[in-house]
Structures are given as C-alpha cells and as structure tokens.
Structure 1
Amino acid sequence: MPVPASFNAVLPGRDAHHYIGDVWYQRIVQVPRGWDGERIVLRLDAATHRAVVWVGDTQVTEHEGGYTPFEADVTEHVRAGEQMRVTVVVNTELHWHSIPPGFVQELEDGRLLQQYFHDFFNYAGLNRSVWLHATPRTHVSDVTVTTAEVDGQSSTIGYVVAVAGDDMHSVRIVVRDADGAAVARADGAEGTARIERVQLWRPGAGYLYTLEVTLLGAGGEVVDVYPQPFGVRTVAVDGHRFLINGEPFQFTGFGKHEDFPVHGRGFDLAVMVHDFQLMLWIGANSFRTSHYPYDEAFLDYADRHGVVVIDETAAVGLNLDTGAGVLNQAGPMDTYSDTTIDAPTQQTHRQAIRELIARDKNHPSVVIWSIANEPDTIPPAARAYFEPLVAETRRLDPTRPVAFANFMTATPERDVISDLFDVLLLNRYYGWYANTGDLITAERLLEAELRQWAQRGKPIVMTEYGADTQPGLHSMTNEPWSEEFQVELLAMYHRVFDRIDAVVGEQIWNFADFATRSGITRVDGNKKGVFTRDRRPKASAHALRRRWRGDA
C-alpha cells in the first residue's frame, strides 16, 4: 500500500471502499549506521482516525485523532546500522467520543455501516508521511515565536524554547533575515529580540525570518541547532474590521478539502502546488482548512507565499440536525446527551485543539483558529460544551482570534454561543438548500440575516455559500445544477456582501468538487466546487476571477 494515501481510495471495489475496522501496515527499514548514539524517533504526520504503533514486538505509542502528528522515541528498541520492523494498525471507525463523531450501525443481516454527520467521505489510513529521524540526546523539543509589538520600522518578537535531555545547557538565539544575515541576537531559553528595519509578513508577500536556536553544552560546545521560520505580523479585531498589521483585510477564497481521485485524502505535493496556483490565478487570498488540519506543507507554502489561513480542527458533525442525519436512517437523536456528544467527546475535542495549536502556532499564515464546523449551537447544552473549549484555545494562544463556522439554522435569535467568539464565520445556503432556485427571495433573506448579525459588532466572514453544479450542464433559464445558476447565485451573494460593511470575507464552498457518501442528493460527490474534482474550471471560476482580480 502506498503511503501517503487513503487505502479505501486506492483499492478498487465496494469491500475496500466501505471497510470498517483495523488496517495493518508493516514495513522493514534500515536504521542508518551514522545514528549511533543519537536519539531515534518514529513520527507519523497523521493516522486516520487512530493508531497503535509497534517497533518489533514492542508497542511504542498510540494516538487518537486522524489529522495531527504524533511520535515515539524508539532509541531503546533499535540499533543503528540494523533493520527494524515498524507495524501500524490504523482504525477507521468513528464513534461518539471521536472527533469527528459517528457510530457503527449493525443491520438486521449482520452487516455494519459506518454512520457519521459530515458531508465528505470517510477516507482513512496513513494519509500522510511516516518518518524515521534522529536528534541529539539533548535537543530542542519545542519553539514558540510571537510578534510582541511592531513600532514604526522595528519589531519586538517573543520566543520560548523548550529543551529535553541534560539540564546542563544554555540557549543562544540568532534571528536571520531571508538572505541569512543576522539581524538580532539574544541569550536564554525565553526572552525577546528586536528587529530593526523589519519586513512584515503580509497577505500576498510572505516574508519570513528564521529564529536559529543553538543549544550549548556545559563546556560551550554546540549540542543542537534548530531553525524555526516565522513571520512578523499582527492580527486584531476592531469592531467590524479584521486587521492584519493594523490594516483592514478582506478574505477572498474557499473552503477546501484534501481530496483527489485515486489517493483520496492522501497528501500529494503536486496537487497541493497546483491548487495554490489555481487560487493565485482566480485571485483568492485565503482558505479555510475545512474540516480538519491539513498536512503542514500547506501552511509552509502559505507562509512563503502570503496566503491567509483559517485553521480548523476536525470537529465537524457535532450536529445531529444538519440533514446529514437523514442519511443514517437511525432516527432523531439529541446532539448533546449521555449517549451521543458528551464529556468524553469534549475531552477528545480539547486534545484536538491542543494538538492543532502546538503544531501550527508559528505559522504567520494562520490568522484565526476555527474550533468547529457547523456544530449544533441552539440547545443550552451547547454553551456548556463550548465555553471551556474557547477558554482553552485562548489560554494556549492569546494572539489569534477564535471562531467557529455557524450552521444555517442557528440564526442570531437562536444561537447560544456566538458571543464567546471574536469573528463570526457563517455558512449559509439561501437559494440552494433554502428557497431553492428563488434568488430574489434568497437575496432578501440573506441580507436581512446578515444585517442582524452585523448588530453584534463583530467582523463576518461568509465561510460557506454555493450551489451544486454539474459541469457542462447549461440552461437558458438558470435552472439549479446548471453552470449559469451557480454564477448567478454567487453574484447574488456578492451583491449582498458589498452592501454590508461588517462582511469582511467571502470563502465559497467549495474550491473543487469532492467525494462524499453516495445518496440521492450526492451523485458522484459534492458538486459545489468552482473547479471539478480533477481541477477543470466551471463558468463560475472565470466569473470569480473577474470579481477578485478585475480581469478576464
């Protein structure tokens, strides 16, 4: 089985595609002889949705959550210059205490069905890379860099360095510019450094510095060196304005998916770069990692090219009233209860937030933490569930705004949690799921609701809006599913956005068509993309290019 790839996309046939349970991966690898005396680490960038890992016959780690990395120190279980056997058992199942949640339903004939409440296919396996690497025994284990202040032509950055191993050490840092020249120095594992004539990281201009951390032993010898790229920029919310470096920013872009034919959600550098180039072509300046953290290479690329990111946890489907529940045919259920979403689910969610921030905190492209997509935020129990998670997010990172993507039925008078957040992310489908085909009524209702939200005094980013569109289907009367209807629906939304100052962003659902479960509303997947699944433009792509870039 190739890694990275979704095994249930690679293997043909229904049995593999709908497989539920454990999938075993195993490989024999050679440990380099030059690693003798080093700390040897096995790292998995992700295993969807959970994994247990062995080296030889010894279990070395296990992990819950399918989209964030984990690792194990395997030094005591291997020998430099010899072979090692790595075994990973990946479990595909979603249950009530996983993020995202789901349940396995047993039919009368004994067959099992994986049920879940989100609208993308449950691709699983080792969707990202697995690494064997070495570090010194005493090593830099974590680095955090923050922009403390920007004052005219200079900036102060804060840094914290964590070290594992021998306590007899000291830390020295050097800040280097993009050409490698030293522009600031400091001593100590925690402190500040001042950069004169600073070049800011800006949307469209991803200037990066490097915090070069040198770990010195008791005798002054170099023990470890770790380079941490970072950008100097500030993010703030001021009333209806979203500010980057003190300047108002308007989001243009998409919700996306890590999804492509044959390898499913398996990471592919060529597809990633092609997608970024398509976003550049169309004039998008941002995207949301809907609905899970993407491979970190996405953020590295966004950092270097000045693309703005709303970074989201895998907390999608915390809503048993979205319409997705109709597909599981299990009957109505309360979202928050002792038998559905409960305290253990919240704990898994909390850990997902911690791991997201731990991985992505140094990426200047990330400007908002989105801790959930379309949860049920109408019942009072939603506030008890989310309030501690918001507090935890702010504790872990007080430098970025916190948000969640609000579901369509949670209107201003019904939603019970939006006051906890800094930015309003709204998913709305007037003209498609509601008032289907009637864009006149849809425009009136959309504007009325957005004006209600605007009274909250917070910036609004429309993080989902769109219409399923069959490529090549044309209509003189702009019928739903036609390319003409998608163009007209998006134009209607944009007219409304342009009339409301509080709307500071438009991220269309979706960048490209993607795979979902089959069903009467999903023929070969979700077709709301402005590009097809193999990245061919629909008519809407050209219309968006004209809006966002002002050219044909």
Structure 2
Amino acid sequence: MFSKFVCFLVLFVTVLSSMAQPREVINFNGDWSFTLEDDLQFRRATFSPVNWKKVSLPHDWSIGFDFGEEYPAGNAGGALPGGVGWYRKTFQLSENDKGSHYTIYFGGVYRYAEVWLNDQYLGKNSNGYLSFERDLTPYLRYGNEQNVIAVRVDNSMQPNSRWYTGSGIYRDVRLEKRAPVHLLPAETYITTPKVSTEKSSVRVQSVLSQAASGKAGRVVLKLRDKNKMTIAEKTVLFSDSQIDDELQVGGVTLWSPDNPTLYELSITVLDNTNKLLDELKYKVGFRYFHFDENGFALNGEPFKLLGVCLHHDLGALGAAFNKSAAKRQLLIMKDMGVNAIRTAHNPFAEEFLDLCDELGFLVQNEAYDMWAKRKNKFDYHIDFKEHHIVDLITLVKRDRNHPSVFMWSIGNEIREQFDDTGIELTKGMTEVVKKLDPTRPVTAALTETNYEKNFIAQAGVLDVLGFNYKYFDYDKLPTEFKGVPLIASETTSALQTRGVYDALHDTIQLWPASSADKFVTNGNPDFTVSAYDNVAAYWGTSHERAWLEVKKRDFLGGIFVWTGFDYLGEPVPYPYPARSSYYGIVDLAGLPKDVYYMYQSEWTDTEVLHLLPHWNWKEGEEVDVWCYYNNADEVELFLNGRSLGRRSKTDEVLHASWNVPFEKGELKVVKIKDGKVVQEAVKKTAGKPVDIVVDVEHDRYAVDGSTDLHFLTVSLVDKNGTIVPDSDVEVSFLPQENLTIRGTDNGYQADLNSLSSPKRKTYKGLAIAMAQKNSLEKEAKIIVKANTIIKEIVIK
C-alpha cells in the first residue's frame, strides 16, 4: 500500500536570476495608472486615464483602506475591501527591436486577471497565487507608436478565502526580450543523479523555442563556485529543440540550513558562428535526503524539521511583495531556530523562494487549501475542476529548480479526505507532480487519523503523510498508516497578544471552547489574549505542549507551528473589531512575543535568558513570573535584591516560574551553570514616559537597493530608558527628505487605524514604521514625533 522507505537524491536550483544579451529582462514595476472604477472602455488603447492614480508595483489596493465591518470578506478576510481594479501602462520599442520575442511576466495577481495589449485580448488567469506569462510579440508596435497594456483585476466575489488575500497586481511584473532561438525556463529542469562531497553530477534538461527547429548550434554548460571559479564545463551540440546532458563535478560543499552553499550554473546557447543566442543562469545547491518510518535525514544525518507555517502577507504592506520585508521575516525566524517553512496554503512569490535558497530554509510548497469542495462561497473550488491540473503543472515547473523546495503539498485539510472522491483526485495530482519532478516527495496535510476513514491516505500514493493537530492520536499513526513517513504538518494554534499578561489558570483555556462556538464568550473586553502560553483555539494546544509532543517522537520527521507571524484576517477567537490573527510567535509588526524565546531556547544554541512579564503592576498584586532559558542547570529570581528561589525546567515544562507579590523596583533573574552565574536579565518598574528611542534597521535586511526598506522601531521610555508598557501615545512619522512611509503597525490585533497611515499609537510601548528611500544616492530625513517629543532621524 505504501512504500516502506522513501528516498530522494536531489539537486536544488533557484529560478532565473541574471541573463546575458540578447535575453533582456526589463523591470516593469514603475509608471502604472490605476483606478477602482470598472468600465470595459479602459481596455482600449485610445483611452486616456487622466484622472487615474499613479502607482508602482507590486500594489495591493485593499491595504490602503480603513478597516470596516461592512466589507463582505468579513474580519476573517482582514475587514478590508476587494472590488474590481484596472491597471494601464504605456511603453515604446525601437524599430531595432523587431524580430525579437517579447513576453510579459506577472508574478501574481489577485484575482481573475484579464490582460489586453493594444486592444488585443491576451486571456484570463484565474489563480491569484501563481505567476503567468503572456506572449506580446504578435501585437507589438515599434518606433514612435505607443504600446498599451491594460489589466482588469476582479476580486469582487467575496468571501473567497479564510484569510486576507490582498487585491491587485501584488507581485513583480517584468518584460522579457528574447532572441527568436531561446531557452524555455518553464521546460528547464536540473537534477543531480549523484551527490556527495567527493563526486557529483548535474543533469540539465531543457527545450529550445520552435525557432530552433532544424537549426544546429552549441550549448555550453558551466558550473561556478561562490568565487566565480569554473569547477565543471561541457559543450553539447544541438540539432533540434531538446537538450539533455550531464556535467560531472568533483567535490562540492553540501547545501543545508546551517550552510546554504550555492553554485552558479549557466546554460549558454550559441549558433554555428559562435554568436550568443541565449543564456540562463541558475543557483544550484547539492544535497540529499530521505524520509522513512524513523523520521527525516538530510545529507546522511538525522534532521528534525523545526518549521513554521506562514501566510503570504507582509503585515503593514498587505499582500504587496517586498523582498526586503520578506527577508526580515525569514531572518527573525532564523534567529528563533526555524529551519523549515510551510507556505500556507498557497504558492508564494518566486523571490521568497530565492531568499529561502540563500538563507537556508527547507520549504514545503503547498498548492491548495481546497479542492472541489468549498470552504468559502467564492473560493478556488469554483475554478478547481477546470484549472487544478494546469495550475499544479505551473507550480511545479515554476519552483522545481529551487534548493529550498523539498516537498510538494497538494492540499491542506481537504474535505475530500472524508469521501471516496479523494482517492482519484489524490492519485491524479500526485501523478502529475511525479511526472514533472520525481525527486521530491508529495504530501498533504490531513486531519482524519483513521485509515479506513481517510480517503486521501487510502489512495496509497503519497510519499509522506502530514497530520494537523491530533496530538492524542500521534502514537497510533505508525500503526494506522504502516510504513509511511509522518510529519506534524500543522500544530499549536495558540493565541497571544504581545505584552498582555492575564492571571494564569491551571489548565490551557480553549477560546472558543468548541466548534459550536463561533467566538469566545469569556474573552477580554479589549480583544486581547494573554501572552502567557496558556490560551489556544479548541483544536489546538499551547506552544510548549505541541512542541513536546513532537520532540519526544522520533518517527515524526518534524513540526510546522501555526504560525510564525501573525497575519491579516482569521482573528480567532474574536469578532470585529479584531482583524488579524493571534496565532503568531511574532506579531504582525515583526515584534516577538514572549514564546519566541521558548523556541529559541529549544531550537538554538543561542544563550537565552528571557524574563516575563513587565514589572508595572498594582502594589501587592500577585504576578506570575516566567523565565525561558537554555544552556544552564537552573535559574534564580531576585526581587529588589532578595532571592525568591531557584527553579529548573523539566521534561514536561519548558520554563521556570514563580508567583510573586508585586513591589516596585527591580526583578532580576540569573542563569546558573556548574554553580556559577553565567547570564542575567532584568525587568524594572517604568515611570512616566519622557522620551522615545528610534532604532533603524536596514543593512541586515537589504536586498537590491531599489526596493529595500528601512524598519524604524519606536520605544516609549521613561527617564531611565525603561520601556513604558502602560502609557501608550500616538507617534507621527513625518518624512522630510527623500523618504516615503510604506506602512506602520504596533502588533495590536484590534487597532483599526489603516496600516498605511503615517500615524500609529504605540502598543505596550512599541510601534514600527516601514520606510523607503525615494533616491538611493541621497540621504533621507524623517521626524518622529510623540506628543512634545521630536526626534529627527537621518538615514544614510
């Protein structure tokens, strides 16, 4: 029924990066016109959009609105509107460009994108999460004539998702110029039949355009190391459109999350006169791995997948992709110890996968949140029958050359697992994936843990089975699903608001308590949830408990926590005005919640000593004090110099705790190893706010300069520099020179101020702004103002 052992020997490569002439990639993100009106005359080349808004792409029109209860997507969709929008762009081509082949690439458009060029209809794309291309060549104009691209985007049918989707052309757009004879990136597939530190090989399969038919020439394959030194080279003759050959390579450094070594592969096409026709360059990572009933191994060593699930939005930017913001998210996760990402529950931007390749993350690449049976009235089930195979092919061909992608997931909590239609659908989609990429396992995230009732598992074709939650069924899984590798594909669903600390209860509180309740009935009036790890949705549990259940079971290849970051929409357990999730280990603004340090203490060797909560309470009030730590025997707590005793973690409790009557002053914890104090952490009672501290982060999150963001974190402090957690103030971010505010946030899930606003109230003493330079060559200036406090910040 299932193969007992699933082994994959793979090469992982990244998508198209840089290319030599005559292939030319033109950034097409600038100078678009946009309107939220809808009229089919907008497609006409002669139409003049004089009153339209000028925008740059990527663009998410929904994120610019104020939150509202009236929008049909509801708070589950982020309490923001959809609608219909139009985009237009004009461009010119030289007479010398005649004879070249032109395509336009859209990284992602949500939703239902229709494209026209010079009044010619180029078709419709239904999947809002996948990239697509259109051939422009037959309809282009040259010389003094203008070319007009018009795009209609329809996100009016709502609700169509269980989370915030964004609206518009929210990923990159590029114009690509190619010679008549050129390589087809979608048909280019690179694998490694052999991988080792002594001897490896690279197999290159590709297809040339139809213009190559009957022509002869050469293809040069070349592999370079990080120092640009050539380590393998081969010339292949071609006489038709097919290319299939191998490069033999000597010793290589293996790719892993701890050491994501990449090589550069160039595929160069020359004609018989040695003229360059085309060239593609890819990043290559060598590694091998396998799943079996004992877990997961990478490069021959046991390896626990320490993963998180992420949604595609980037907080205050909404769905508009920004590589710098995505890099910030990933590095915050990296510092926590994360080595794997699950794209929940849809394909992400290609550039996100580029970052995972470079930074060292294993990616479970997920295709669908539903199949033919719906979860929302207007979701993908409408398009599934007609488009799901084509969309799956597009996904696999687009992403199969990434080192970071190590698994394909064909679905999340699919309702067809409960009836026999799931068998044939699972077989059909798995066959498609395997035909296009036999090197990676196929999985699905399931909830039914009885084999006889699980029709997706009964298909007998999935290489790995993922199970969401179901902690009490873990031990029966190896018996129920004999011989098939297993992972905890989604866990936890704990709920927290950063900086909020309610009195603890002895057991985990479930908010809401059952599926019969839509919302919690005994929650907090300000729509917050305690940051102590003791509240979860009814199907979940605490972070500590979920991790412990996976940690002690080697047969589970790893864990994917729901979720790494808070995201827009799905604000369980509250109704509006809650508008974003509570699940994240890090809040929507990118500020870690306390439980972040529990994971860091378990998943890294970083010296962790994190004390919570803050120390501003009523005199005599009983306060639960927790400490996360690692690399020590025990910790000792002091209040104003008096010892309150030593505590240790246990096999079942991953923090130390005390119950302390509050008194003003200093709370200090020290970490003790071999009888010696090796680290200390302090919380002080904060006074009145008298100042703000503005930290600017950029260099670590820099990517390419042109789209890089500067992240400004504002801390509200007292006269001693202690963050004030209980006297929040409004902060204004006022650009003075060469700077644009892209968004602001504070992590509070029920803050109804638009995330595009340049004003933001601090929450528990903190707020952030995302800013972008208008010109890279000049310095920028911004004033940050809070009441009478004014700080002028210069950004070099």
Structures share fold, TM-score greater than 0.5 = yes
Alignment of 1:62-81 (within 5 A): 62-81=124-143
Distance 1:471 1:412, change over 3 A: farther
Match of 1:51 in 2: 113
* Aligned match of 1:298: 352
Which residue does 1:492 correspond to in 2?
Answer: 545
The 1:486/1:134 distance shift into structure 2, 3 A limit, reads: farther
- Aligned pairs for 1:427-442 (under 5 A) are 427-428=468-469
Residue 148 of structure 2 corresponds to residue 85 of structure 1? yes
Change (3 A) 1:520 1:541: closer
* Letter aligned with residue 120 of structure 1: W
Alpha-carbon displacement from aligned partner over 1:28-76 (angstroms, at most 9, x marks no partner) = 2343676454222211111122211111211234322112211122123
Query: In structure 2, how many angstroms separate the alpha carbons of the residues matched to 1:543 and 1:281?
Result: 12
The answer to whether residue 246 in structure 2 is matched with residue 192 in structure 1 is: yes
Q: Percent identity?
A: 23
Rounded to whole Å, the distance in 1 between the matches of 2:102 and 2:482 is: 55
SS of equivalent residue, structure 1 residue 139: coil
Alpha-carbon distance between aligned partners in 2 of 1:48 and 1:453, rounded to the nearest angstrom: 40
Paired residue secondary structure (1:472): coil
Aligned to 1:156: 201
How far apart are 1:370 and its partner, in Å? Answer: 0.8
2:230 maps to what in 1?
182
Match of 1:464?
A: 491
Query: Does the C-alpha gap of structure 1 residues 373 and 10 become closer, same or farther in structure 2, counting only changes over 3 Å?
Result: same
Q: CA 1:150/1:18 → structure 2, altered by over 3 Å: closer, same or farther?
A: closer
* Unmatched segments (≥5 aa) in structure 1: 94-103, 105-113, 431-442
What SS class does the counterpart of residue 184 from structure 1 fall into?
strand
Aligned to 1:514: 567
Aligned pairs (5 A) from 1:238-317: 238-313=292-367, 315-317=368-370
Deviation at 1:521, TM superposition (A): 3.8
Find the counterpart in structure 1 of residue 618 from structure 2.
Answer: none
Question: Which range moved further: 124-133 or 528-537?
Answer: 124-133
For residues 352-394 of structure 1, give each alpha carbon's deviation from its aligned partner in whole angstroms, at most 9, with x where no partner exists: 2111111111111110001111101111121122221111111
Q: Do structure 1's residue 132 and structure 2's residue 175 form an aligned pair?
A: yes
User: Residue 286 of structure 2: SS of its match in structure 1?
Assistant: coil
Distance in 2, Cα, partners of 1:519 & 1:462: 20
SS in 2 for 1:357: helix
User: Quick one: structure 1 residues 519 and 405, their matched pair in 2 at CA, closer, same or farther if it must change by over 3 Å?
Assistant: closer
CA contact (8 A) 1:49 1:65 kept: yes
Structure 1 distance, partners of 2:290, 2:353, is 20
- Residue in structure 1 matched with residue 601 of structure 2 by the alignment: 546
Query: Aligned equivalents of 1:126 and 1:50: distance in 2?
Result: 11
User: Alignment partner of 1:173: what SS?
Assistant: strand
CA distance in 2: counterparts of 1:489 and 1:413, whole angstroms? 30
Q: Kindly state the Cα deviation for residue 449 of structure 1 after the two structures are TM-superposed.
A: 5.1
Partner of 2:34: none
Gaps of 5+ in 2: 1-54, 72-78, 238-242, 510-528, 536-540, 609-796
Contact 1:412/1:452 (8 A) holds in 2: no
Shift, 1:203, TM fit? 2.2
For normalisation by structure 1, the TM-score amounts to 0.84
1:54–1:86 contact (8 Å) kept in structure 2:
yes
- One-letter code of the match for 2:84? D
Q: Which has the higher strand share?
A: 2
Answering whether residue 503 of structure 2 is matched by residue 476 of structure 1, we say yes
Q: Which residue of the partner structure matches residue 205 of structure 1?
A: 259
Q: Which moved more, 1:222-231 or 1:78-87?
A: 78-87
Does 1:531 find its partner at 2:586? yes
1:115 to 132, 152, 159: 159
Instruction: Say which one has the larger Rg.
Output: 2
Cα deviation, residue 465, structure 1: 2.3
| Matches of 2:205 and 2:475, distance apart in 1 | 47
Structure 1 residue 284 displacement after superposition: 0.7
Q: Shift in Å at residue 399 of structure 1?
A: 0.3
* Aligned residue pair count: 502
Cα drift, residue 291 of structure 1:
1.1
Moved more, 267-276 or 165-174: 165-174
Q: Higher RCO, 1 or 2 (CA under 8 Å, sep at least 6)?
A: 1
Match of 1:400 in 2: 440
Q: Which moved more, 1:476-485 or 1:167-176?
A: 476-485
2:585 & 2:558 partners in 1: Cα distance?
A: 17
| Offset at residue 267 of structure 1 (A) | 0.2
**8 Å CA contact retained: 1:446, 1:496:** no
